[in-house]
Amino acid sequence: MRLRNIKGADDAVQNSEYCIKNPTEWKGKWNEIFENQNPIRIEIGMGKGQFLMQLAAQNPTINYIGIERYTSVLYRALQKMESEPLSNLKFICVNAEILPDVFEKNEIDRIYLNFSDPWPKDRHAKRRLTSREFLKRYDTFLKQDGIIEFKTDNVGLFDFSLEEVPYGGFKLLASTYDLHHDVSLNEGNIMTEYEEKFSSLGNPICKMIISR
């Protein structure tokens, strides 16, 4: 997701109490930010935050962190938080490549990846958030029994992601090429912004769940 540069977005992100500055300084100490010992789950590439806000509102005893690299996009999430604040949700504005410097071993309980950028050129495969390179990064901070959930409507990216699973040190727990017609996997599904958009155009949604 790329939005036009929005005037004031950088300042708003910099000054927001919901956005944690210098996130590498909190490595191993994220529970102090939330002031409790509840599990922490993250969405990488959260866009405007619709999915995570709904999840956080439904699960007050779980902490959530949304990661988004563009301030112009994160700004939209901050605006929503101003009107409906959630104490179990924070944001950080970084490129996901640096997450091993942000989270300590076993610090994160679950990772959500929703409608990640496809990077269609082969030479950009390493930039895909489900590539083996990224899976190995997640391995450094995801709890041993933690899971990763990935949704997309892009079948090419989904097939690539399925193939990467073993190379990243994970195994497939469940998958579908048509989430909205899969009764068990769709139970309790929260639609992301892109999911609403692409499924309304008739695109089936793919989902996989992986663990170690």
Residue 13's nearest CA partner among 101, 85, 90 is 90
- Distance of closest approach, residue 22 Cβ to ligand SAH, in angstroms: 17
Question: Pattern 153-192, binding to ligand SAH, x per CB under 6 A?
Answer: ---------------------------------------x
Choose between 97 and 109: whose C-beta lies nearer to ligand SAH: 97
Question: Among 13, 46, 135, 142, which residue interacts with ligand SAH (rule: CB under 6 A)?
Answer: 46
Residue 53's nearest CA partner among 193, 178, 183 is 193
Cβ-proximal residues to 102 (8 Å cutoff; 6+ apart), any chain:
23, 24, 26, 27, 92, 94, 141
Question: Among 95, 156, 172, 173, which residue interacts with ligand SAH (rule: CB under 6 A)?
Answer: 95
Residue 142's nearest CA partner among 166, 171, 173, 107 is 107
Does residue 138 belong to the site contacting ligand SAH (CB under 6 A)?
no
Does residue 148 belong to the site contacting ligand SAH (CB under 6 A)?
no
Q: How far apart are the first and last CA of the chain?
A: 30
CB count in 10 Å sphere of residue 54: 14
Question: Among 67, 78, 205, 208, which residue interacts with ligand SAH (rule: CB under 6 A)?
Answer: 67
Does residue 194 belong to the site contacting ligand SAH (CB under 6 A)?
yes
Residues carrying an active site annotation: 117
